[in-house]
Structures are given as C-alpha cells and as structure tokens.
A and B are shown apart, each in its own frame.
Chain A
Amino acid sequence: SAVISQKPSRDICQRGTSLTIQCQVDSQVTMMFWYRQQPGQSLTLIATANQGSEATYESGFVIDKFPISRPNLTFSTLTVSNMSPEDSSIYLCSAVVGVNEQFFGPGTRLTVL
C-alpha cells in the first residue's frame, strides 16, 4: 500500500487569489493524478501529472486555471488560480503504485469566498 499526504488539508480563500496544494507519496510511484470533488458530487479527473513535463488535462480543465508540477516521482503540486466560489471543492491527489494499485490522498477542502 501507499500513504499519500496533502497540504493544506483545508483552506478558506478570497476570490481572485491562488492556492497551491502539495501532494507527497511515500512509495515508488508510476503515475500521479489530480481529481476534484464538488459538493455532493462524485470525483472528476482534472489531469495526469507528468514528471518533468506538462500535465495532461482532461476535457474542461486547462493549464492556466490549474497549473500542475511534478518535479520528481513522488511529489506534485496543483495550483487553483484566480479562484471563484465555483472552485470550492475537495481536491484529491492520487497515485498508481506498482502495476494496478491506485491510492488517494485525504483531500484538500477548499472554500472560496
């Protein structure tokens, strides 16, 4: 198994500002991902975090709004830029460890006022 930690665990931010969320995995990682879970909804994949190169975004998500970095195998950051209240969500980091096992972090609960 793997332990995934995220910082911060929660934050309250003002509209127009940006927040960077950090994700650290304690195991050998094959792939890393970022998901969003809006209130009362299921999880939606934002992007695949690629080591040393630009992330691969899903439809509806763009780099200018959600810049992602992955400087090494076990660490990634997601920035939520120019926030609005519609960005209030839980943001979850996920990692594939080994061949078929995928784990999730505890999430970062973001509230935008």
Chain B
Amino acid sequence: DAKTTQPPSMDCAEGRAANLPCNHSTISGNEYVYWYRQIHSQGPQYIIHGLKNNETNEMASLIITEDRKSSTLILPHATLRDTAVYYCIVRVRGSTLGRLYFGRGTQLTVWP
C-alpha cells in the first residue's frame, strides 16, 4: 500500500541537477510527502518532507504541485555520493505517525 509511483531508475551527470518525480494522485489533505534515500547497505536517510508548500533544506528541494498529486525532489548539484535508491512516501499525520510504507523507489545513478 505504497500510494506512490516512481520511475524505477534514473541517471544524472555529476554536477547537474537531479529531478526525481513522484506521483501520489490519491493523497489526502492530512498526508505529508516524505523523501528518504538508501545508499547501498545502509539504513534509509531522511531527506525532506512537505505538506503543500515547496520546501528546501541543505540536502534538497521539494516541489509539490498545487493539486498535491505529484512532487519532485531536486538535488541541485548531484555528486557520486548521491547514488542511491530514493523513496517517496506519503504519511498521515497523527495516529499513524511513523508507520511508513515504502514502495520500490527510484534508483538514481550519478555518473562522472
């Protein structure tokens, strides 16, 4: 019950922006969009989350469409260390906080 759709894989040249799309057309008003990534053999790493406004932190930017049915994670200057599986997850506030349901994610490969 992942509730999100992501492309299985993407490539990006080092130094360029990586734009990872996510479709969450059934998202409801009290659900956040979260992004995590998992570098091989490590636990998932939190990247960013948002409800309806665009968000930016030191790692990435999150652009959420006005209808909230899709979003894009932007890594502005991708490096080789950004090669990982990126997961887009919708999460309900309140009682189900923390129960994340992971889909298959997008394997991002950054090449030199």
Neighbouring B residues of A43 by C-beta, 8 Å: 44, 100, 102
Is B42 an interface position by the 8 A CB rule?
yes
Say which size band chain A's interface belongs to.
Answer: 20 to 34
Q: Which of the candidate stretches A12-20, A68-76, A79-87, A104-112 sits at the interface with the other chain?
A: A104-112
Interchain CB contact under 8 A, B43 and A100: no
Is B99 an interface position by the 8 A CB rule?
yes
Is B103 an interface position by the 8 A CB rule?
yes
Is A92 an interface position by the 8 A CB rule?
yes
Given known A-B contacts A30-B97, A31-B98, A104 and B45 have beta carbons under 8 A apart: yes
Interchain CB contact under 8 A, B98 and A96: yes
Interface of A is mostly: strand
Is A22 an interface position by the 8 A CB rule?
no
Is A53 an interface position by the 8 A CB rule?
no
Pick the contact of B102: A42, A100, A101, A109 (CB < 8 A): A42
Neighbouring B residues of A94 by C-beta, 8 Å: 43, 98, 100
B45 to chain A, nearest CB (A): 7
* Alpha-carbon distance A44/B46, docked complex (angstroms): 17
Is B16 an interface position by the 8 A CB rule?
no
For B44, B100, B103, which residue has the most chain A Cβ atoms within 10 angstroms?
B44
CB-CB nearest in chain B for A101: B46
Neighbouring A residues of B41 by C-beta, 8 Å: 107, 109
Interchain CB contact under 8 A, B43 and A31: no
Given known A-B contacts A42-B104, A42-B105, A100-B32, A48 and B43 have beta carbons under 8 A apart: no
Is A102 an interface position by the 8 A CB rule?
yes
B31-73 interface bits toward A, Cβ cutoff 8 Å, 1 = contact, 0 = none = 0101010000111111001000000000000000000000000
Q: List 7 A-B contacts (CB under 8 A).
A: A31-B97, A31-B98, A42-B102, A44-B102, A94-B43, A102-B98, A104-B36
Q: A104-B44, A106-B42, A107-B41 are in contact. List 5 more A-B contacts (CB 8 A).
A: A42-B87, A42-B102, A42-B104, A94-B43, A109-B41
Which 3 residue pairs of A and B lie closest in terms of their CB atoms, listed nearest first? A104-B43, A43-B102, A96-B98
